Amino acid sequence: MSGFGGGGHGGGGRVKKVMTQPISLIFRFLQNRTRVQIWLYENTKMRIEGQILGFDEYMNLVLDEAEEVDMKNDERKQLGRIMLKGDTITLMQSVEV
Whether the CB-CB separation of 92 and 37 falls below 8 Å is answered with yes
> In this predicted structure, what is the pLDDT of residue 73?
95
pLDDT (average), residues 19-30: 92
Confirm whether pTM is higher than 0.85: no
| Parallel, antiparallel or unpaired: strands 89-94 and 35-40 | antiparallel
* Domains, the chain, ordered by start: 35-97 (2.30.30.100)
> In this predicted structure, what is the pLDDT of residue 2?
47
18 vs 52, residue with greater confidence? 52
Supply the mean pLDDT for the chain.
89
